[in-house]
Amino acid sequence: MNFPIPVVHTVAEMRAFVQARRAGGERIGLVPTMGALHTGHLSLVDEARRVAERVIVTIFVNPTQFGPNEDFTRYPRTLPADCEKLAGVAADLVFAPAVEEMYPSGFCTTVSLEGPAKAELEDHFRPTHFTGVATVVTKLLNQAQADVAVFGEKDYQQLLVIRALARDLDIATRIVGSETLRDPDGLAMSSRNVYLSAEERARAPALHRALSDAARRIAAGEVVGHVMGEAREAIVGAGFDIDYLEARHAETLARVARRHDGPIRLLAAARLGATRLIDNVAVPSE
């Protein structure tokens, strides 16, 4: 198949690209994705381009981060359309490996996690998720040896997990978080938004509205527990089933009870029909 952008499928091919560009003095940016790209993903490419001359985008639907009842088999796989979009933002290379390339016969190693990976947030509802994420991201960082890797802040707990593993395992790649891109009504862009019915899509922005209102009120000095209780009522009233809605320390994900317990991030995961949405909002600093 012909693509409008160079596509490679093996680690050796990607490393050859990196070595050739680095020999010319160019810095390498990496944007790991699972494909089904939208404007939010493309903004990560733009962010990587600010600090690197060459940008590699990985497209790999990673089976190890899906639980047994999750949507691995129906997760959108749209490589030709993804490549068209990436050509439009001048990405330099797509790395789209097969499962067998990432997890060859006899593969038996995973990354063991504590810290932000054991915060009773995503890890409570998806207990194997971060082991899968951390293992594949560690592999991608080692495979590419990029100067910088960019991840979206929408998956905030994931971002902290990746920062921790890069620090703890002495991975030289600098991890950069990029601000969540949103539709005009506030809904965080996500590949899973396509699963929402028209009626669900109309209600979906209530999640971000409730988080934003709660962040503003906490910043203004209202009691954290009271504000979060009312945010929960608003989200449930909009038709969501909440997995979690929490105020946490923005750097450690430790629980917080007061505005002055540290920089605060509000994090939520909630289901609207069959679709699970996640979002987070920073509480403004004083």
Task: Determine contact, residues 56/17, Cβ cutoff 8 Å.
Answer: yes
Binding site residue list for ATP: 34-41, 152-155, 181, 189-192
Kindly report the backbone phi and psi dihedral angles of residue 88, in degrees, each rounded to the nearest multiple of 5, phi listed first.
-70, -25
Residue 13 has pLDDT above 80, yes or no: yes
Q: Which of 41, 129, 226, 260 is an active site residue?
A: 41
Task: Determine contact, residues 270/233, Cβ cutoff 8 Å.
Answer: no
* pLDDT tens string 130-184: 999 999 999 999 999 999 999 999 999 999 999 999 999 999 999 999 999 999 9
Model pTM score = 0.95
pLDDT band for position 98 (cuts 50, 70, 90): very high
Rg (CA), the chain: 19
Q: Which architecture, in CATH terms, is 191-281? A: 2-Layer Sandwich (3.30)
Q: Which architecture, in CATH terms, is 7-178? A: 3-Layer(aba) Sandwich (3.40)
Please name the helix (run of DSSP H) or strand (run of DSSP E) that holds residue 40, with its range, or none: helix 39-51
Least confidently predicted of 8-12, 67-71, 79-83: 67-71
- How far is 209 from 195, CA to CA, in rounded Å? 21
Binding site residue list: 34-41, 65, 152-155, 158, 181, 189-192
| pLDDT value at residue 73 | 87
CA-to-CA dists, residue 177 to 62, 103, 150, 165, 232, angstroms: 21, 27, 6, 15, 27
pLDDT band for position 1 (cuts 50, 70, 90): confident
Q: Is 41 a catalytic residue?
A: yes
* pLDDT tens string 198-238: 999 999 999 999 999 999 999 999 999 999 999 999 999 99
Binding site residue list for (R)-pantoate: 65, 158
- Domain map (residue ranges) of the chain: 7-178, 191-281
